[in-house]
Copies of this chain bind each other. A is one copy, B any other.
Amino acid sequence: MTVIGLLTDFGIKDGNVGVMKGVIAGINPDAQIVDLSHHISPQNIAEAALILSRSYAYFPPGTIFVAVVDPGVGTQRRPIAAQIGEYFFVAPDNGVLTLVYQSAERQNKPIKVIQLINPAYWLPLISHVFHGRDIFAPVGAHLSSGANLDDMGTPVDNPVRINFPQPEPISGGLRGEIIHIDHFGNISTNILQIHIAGVEKLTVQMDNTTIPGLVRTFGEREPGELVALLGSTGYLILAQVNGSAAQVLHPKIGDPVMVFFDNPSLKE
């Protein structure tokens, strides 16, 4: 039973995700469909890329991800499917797979990307505005039934990638930025565990708020305190114990976050 993971910005109130699942069930009744998220901010390709890249490796090998955040639907943007390491991805070619490509490259895993041009794997009628239903879900379902990626289209050598800002060195530390705010109001930065490896003490600063040290987990401080810690996928996050850091700090995606390494002048 192959898993198909769905990631969209469709929300769940209008029936569109249900329709994609109906289409999949009609092609492969044995596919096991898992919702990764349907609450990506509308048209936010970067957010979808982030959620996908930090999640996919927890699924069983062979899982097919259908990722539809698709502001260019119906234009010349290409529909693609990709085999990346042990996983498959079906998506518009708009950069939503950028971080998965990078992850595979770091691990020397093979990447094969195909432009979907063979309508034999699509619904008979293709709308201009809902390729999730008409192209991406059917292609994912056919892949889950054992269809061959190579039969679905032609190779793509230069799939679209989008730019993800990296943390930059500053005097005494790093300047990162906010890349995600989660359901709990935890604030994720683009600073990874590897960026601060070996650092014994550090101070995190956002706007006028300074958070000392790093805790291992929320429960090490009292409810209401702001803490900095490494999240479950290795990113440095800011949180409020039993509360919402977002409600305290009012962050926006892209806002700067500074980390200072063991800097006495800051800790007076």
Contact = CB atoms under 8 A, between A and B. Distances in A.
Interface of A: 1, 3, 5, 7, 9-15, 17-19, 21-23, 25-26, 29-30, 32-40, 42-43, 51-52, 54-56, 58-60, 63, 71-75, 77, 127-130, 133-134, 180, 182-184, 216-220, 229-232, 242, 244
Contacts of A54: 15
Majority-rule SS of A interface residues: loop
A218 B13 contact: no
A39 B60 contact: no
The 5 A-B residue pairs with the shortest CB-CB distance in the complex, in nearest-first order: A74-B217, A11-B183, A22-B59, A13-B39, A130-B232
21 contacts: A3-B22, A5-B18, A10-B183, A12-B35, A12-B183, A13-B39, A14-B37, A14-B182, A14-B183, A15-B52, A17-B35, A19-B36, A19-B59, A22-B56, A23-B59, A42-B183, A42-B184, A43-B242, A74-B216, A74-B217, A134-B232
Contacts of A232: 127, 129-130, 133-134
Interface centre among A15, A33, A35 (most CB of B within 10 A): A15
Nearest to A244: B42
Contact of A133 (B19, B23, B58, B242): B58
